[in-house]
Amino acid sequence: MVRVSRRLLLLALVLATSVAAGPAELDQDWAASIEESRAGRNERLRSPDGWLTLAGLYWLEPGANGFGSDDENPIVLDAPDIPPQAGTLSLNGETVTIHVAPEARVELNGDPITERTLRDDNAEDGPDLLTIGRLRFYAIRRAERYGVRVKDPEHPNLAGFRGLEFFPLDPAYRIDARFSPYDEPQEVQVLSVVGTKQAFLIPGVVEFTLHGRELSLLPFVSDPDDTDFWFIFKDKTSGKESYGFRYLSAEMTEGRVDLDFNRTYNPPCAFTPYATCPLPPKANRLDVRIESGERIYGKH
């Protein structure tokens, strides 16, 4: 029996599901790299630490916020072997401190703790990841708000995940775009799906032609010198064939951007109500259909 490599199988799948590319020639290395990245995205979503394991998002109020299995707690941890009152998470200014009840066992990196000031997800080394029973939880910060995100490796969303769906691969949606920089990057406050705001830098405008129309998108960067652009956009398929908005990353090189819509992907909030996804700015709401990249998932 002839053994076929995983790469060739992936490429065969791409070619079998692709739309006719017209005069454009399909780059087999490009097609295989996209299918490989799509397979990797499916694997990450299936991981015990992926977005499908999110089981709760609780915003902290100043002072003590009780956590445990009792429904009366501000932070409800629904899993076996968790005491009704397992402790408190106290918010004082910009500091979150955990106090663990004597009858509970909370671990940090495998070691039990009783009290600790916690790093949130904006910290350079990432958040302190806590474990109680099978659940994991950690502090997050969104602008001036602090919260607690809970993950359950046995969440029903993970068990029911059936894989992602994509529009057929189409080289017509891989575009050599032009970047026009601003004199200075502009800082903007972007609203999220939960009403918080996040600051981003816009270094300029990316201009391109699609379906015979001249269009543009505003890229986001975290540093003025970044050449890795991140786009949040919506189009005429949004909320129908695709999710309400999608994300895309692209590299800028010497004023050109490889704007490949075949690589667009859904935000975390397409899979869970406990994500804090930023929304597309008005300038990134395109009046065209982009039948490319990741399709809508489930009933979202």
Residue pLDDT, tens place only, 184-200: 999 999 999 999 888 99
Q: If you average pLDDT over residues 254-274, what whole number do you get?
A: 96
Residue 126 is predicted with a pLDDT of: 86
Task: Name the residue range of residue 233's domain.
Answer: 6-46+163-284
Query: Does residue 167 surpass a pLDDT of 60?
Result: yes
**Within a domain: residue 35?**
yes
Residue pLDDT, tens place only, 5-16: 444 444 444 444
Q: If you average pLDDT over residues 222-240, what whole number do you get?
A: 95
Residue pLDDT, tens place only, 15-47: 444 443 443 567 899 999 999 999 999 999 999
Q: Are residues 41 and 167 in the same domain?
A: yes
Tell me, what CATH number does 108's domain have? Answer: 2.60.200.20
**CA distances (Å), origin 70, targets 15, 60, 77, 92:** 53, 17, 8, 24
Pairing of strands 228-233, 246-253: antiparallel
Q: Are residues 41 and 57 in the same domain?
A: no
Residue 58 structure tokens: 């609780």
- Domain end call among 143, 159, 175: 159
In whole angstroms, give the CA distance from residue 52 to residue 157: 5
Q: If you average pLDDT over residues 127-131, what whole number do you get?
A: 96
More confident residue, 88 or 18: 88
Q: If you compute the radius of gyration of the chain from its CA atoms, what whole number of angstroms results?
A: 22
Residue pLDDT, tens place only, 245-260: 999 999 999 999 999 9
Residue 6 is predicted with a pLDDT of: 47
Q: In what order do the strands lie in the sheet with 246-253?
A: 213-217, 197-210, 174-191, 256-260, 246-253, 228-233
Q: If you average pLDDT over residues 130-158, what whole number do you get?
A: 95
Residue 109 is predicted with a pLDDT of: 84
% the chain with pLDDT above 90: 84
**Within a domain: residue 184?**
yes
Statement: the pTM of the whole predicted model exceeds 0.75: yes
Q: If you average pLDDT over residues 218-222, what whole number do you get?
A: 95
**Within a domain: residue 107?**
yes
Q: pLDDT band for position 299 (50/70/90)?
A: low
**Within a domain: residue 25?**
yes
